[in-house]
């Protein structure tokens, strides 16, 4: 009989990752991080970072252990954290300090801090205090989970996810004007909005479709810390937008950013990160604007919802001639989503 063993280290780190996942989409410009405290194979406490300015995962896990009555057991315990703990004063005091103070004797983390100024600093501080440190446990999974944030920190601009819904023959609309995607795919698209800090459309989409771009999944599925994502309109002329458009007039109107005549997407994206702390930007624009992002190499991830239908039509996903540089793609998965096929991957 075949047996598959999971090392305790991996088991606890995956538990920390599933904690981290609870913060997905609510922590920007901070990363979503999870932590689990363990002693003698017993879970003492766990927690995740929920919102910038609020306690980090490590402190929440310690607080959780205390809440569970495990304060005395913290001495000599091990903490699993998905990301190298912070070691400097930010909006909250460094986590290394909290770890040392409560007597935790071992820190195991997955991903390293992408900021060269901080990278490895936690190890030094902790080791100097006699805490044992191990890193690189489930590093691949932690890195993949933190990819958008790491990209933002390293490049100073958001991770850009393009979401496209199309027919088998690559068209984005139907003759009868109805939606292509099935309800299950639309649900997935809202889940993607949940993970994003901002959603972008072009002026044309505003004029034609008048979208709200809000998250409309069942309330129970939305983390309580989630605020509606920023809604960004890229347009040649702000005055061409109808003032009655939902994005400009609904109750979330103060969460809409209108930008005119953006030619250099890279520096514009940099400003979005700096000014608004946008770590993940999702494109829900038409083909023309999408092509502009592709041409400038500014798309990082691609989510394609393929509807089993052959439509023809002028509404191409990527209109126009060959791209100056063909884009290579690493498929992460393709799966059935209702009757549609969902393909997700990274643009290389």
Whether 58 is catalytic is: yes
| Residues pairing with 283 in the sheet | 162, 200
* Residue ranges in 136-286 assigned as alpha helix (H): 139-145, 147-155, 183-195, 203-209, 246-249, 265-276
Catalytic residue, chosen from 58, 84, 284, 316, is 58
CB of 100 to its own copies, least distance (A): 47
Q: Are 47 and 60 in contact (CB under 8 A)?
A: yes
- In the shown chain, the binding pattern of residues 233 to 272 toward its own copies, with x for contact by CB under 8 A and - for none, equals ----------------------------------------
Q: Is residue 174 part of the contact set for its own copies (CB under 8 A)?
A: yes
Q: Is residue 184 part of the contact set for its own copies (CB under 8 A)?
A: no
Q: Is residue 171 part of the contact set for its own copies (CB under 8 A)?
A: yes
Out of 176, 239, 244, 254, the only residue in the binding site for its own copies (CB under 8 A) is 176
Q: How far apart are alpha carbons 52 and 66 in whole angstroms?
A: 23
Q: Is residue 326 part of the contact set for its own copies (CB under 8 A)?
A: yes
Nearer Cβ to its own copies, position 83 or 343?
343
CB of 192 to its own copies, least distance (A): 17
Q: Which of residues 296-315 bind its own copies (CB under 8 A)?
A: 302, 304, 306, 308-314
CB of 189 to its own copies, least distance (A): 17
Nearer Cβ to its own copies, position 10 or 184?
184
Out of 120, 136, 242, 320, the only residue in the binding site for its own copies (CB under 8 A) is 320
The window from 203-211, 254-262, 269-277, 318-326 that contacts its own copies (CB under 8 A) reads 318-326
Q: Is residue 182 part of the contact set for its own copies (CB under 8 A)?
A: no
Q: How far apart are alpha carbons 294 and 325 in whole angstroms?
A: 9
For residue 95, with 0-12 CB atoms within 10 Å meaning exposed, 13-18 middle and 19 or more buried, which class applies?
buried
Q: Is residue 331 part of the contact set for its own copies (CB under 8 A)?
A: yes
Q: How far apart are alpha carbons 235 and 245 in whole angstroms?
A: 14
- In the shown chain, the binding pattern of residues 71 to 110 toward its own copies, with x for contact by CB under 8 A and - for none, equals ----------------------------------------
Question: In 3-state terms, what secondary structure has residue 237?
Answer: coil
Q: Are 289 and 202 in contact (CB under 8 A)?
A: yes
Q: How far apart are alpha carbons 85 and 99 in whole angstroms?
A: 9
Nearer Cβ to its own copies, position 40 or 321?
321
Q: How far apart are alpha carbons 260 and 282 in whole angstroms?
A: 18
Give the residue among 64, 55, 63 at the shortest CA–CA distance from 90. 55
Q: Is residue 147 part of the contact set for its own copies (CB under 8 A)?
A: no
Structure tokens at 68: 């569970």
Q: Which of residues 150-169 bind its own copies (CB under 8 A)?
A: 166, 168-169
CA 331 and chain centroid, separation: 18
CB of 300 to its own copies, least distance (A): 13
Question: In 3-state terms, what secondary structure has residue 160?
Answer: strand
Q: How far apart are alpha carbons 326 and 268 in whole angstroms?
A: 23
Q: Is residue 347 part of the contact set for its own copies (CB under 8 A)?
A: yes
Q: Which of residues 189-228 bind its own copies (CB under 8 A)?
A: none
HSE-up (13 A, CA, CB side) for residue 271: 8
CA 240 and chain centroid, separation: 32
Q: Which residues are catalytic?
A: 58
Chain positions contacting its own copies, by CB under 8 A: 166, 168-171, 174-176, 291, 294, 302, 304, 306, 308-314, 316-323, 326-331, 334, 336, 339, 341, 343, 345, 347
């Amino acid at each position: 009989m075949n047996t598959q063993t999971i090392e305790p280290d991996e088991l606890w780190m995956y538990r920390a990752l599933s904690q981290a996942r609870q913060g997905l989409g609510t922590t920007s410009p901070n990363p979503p991080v999870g932590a689990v405290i363990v002693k003698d194979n017993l879970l003492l406490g766990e927690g995740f970072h929920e919102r910038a300015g609020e306690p980090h995962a490590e402190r929440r896990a310690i607080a959780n252990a205390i809440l569970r009555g495990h304060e005395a057991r913290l001495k000599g315990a091990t903490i699993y954290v998905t990301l190298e703990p912070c070691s400097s004063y930010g909006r909250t005091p460094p986590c290394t300090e909290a770890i040392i103070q409560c007597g935790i004797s071992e820190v195991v983390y997955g991903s390293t801090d992408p900021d060269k100024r901080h990278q490895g600093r936690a190890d030094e501080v902790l080791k100097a205090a006699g805490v044992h440190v191990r890193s690189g446990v489930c590093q691949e999974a932690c890195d993949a989970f933190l990819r958008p944030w790491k990209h933002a920190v390293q490049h100073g601009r958001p991770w850009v996810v393009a979401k496209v819904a199309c027919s088998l023959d690559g068209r984005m609309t139907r003759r009868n004007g109805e939606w292509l995607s099935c309800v299950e795919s639309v649900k997935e698209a809202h889940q993607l909005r949940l993970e994003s800090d901002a959603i972008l459309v072009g002026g044309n989409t505003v004029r034609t479709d008048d979208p709200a771009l809000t998250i409309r999944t069942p309330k129970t599925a939305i983390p309580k810390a989630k605020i509606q994502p920023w809604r960004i309109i890229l347009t040649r002329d702000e005055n061409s937008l109808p003032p009655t458009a939902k994005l400009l007039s609904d109750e979330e109107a103060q969460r809409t950013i209108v930008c005119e005549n953006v030619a250099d997407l890279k520096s514009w994206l940099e400003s979005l990160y700096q000014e608004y702390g946008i770590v993940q930007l999702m494109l829900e624009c038409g083909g023309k604007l999408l092509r502009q992002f592709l041409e400038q190499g500014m798309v990082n991830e691609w989510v394609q919802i393929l509807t089993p239908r052959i439509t023809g039509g002028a509404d191409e996903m990527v209109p126009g001639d060959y791209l100056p540089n063909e884009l290579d793609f690493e498929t992460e998965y393709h799966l059935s989503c209702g009757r549609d096929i969902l393909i997700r991957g990274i643009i290389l």
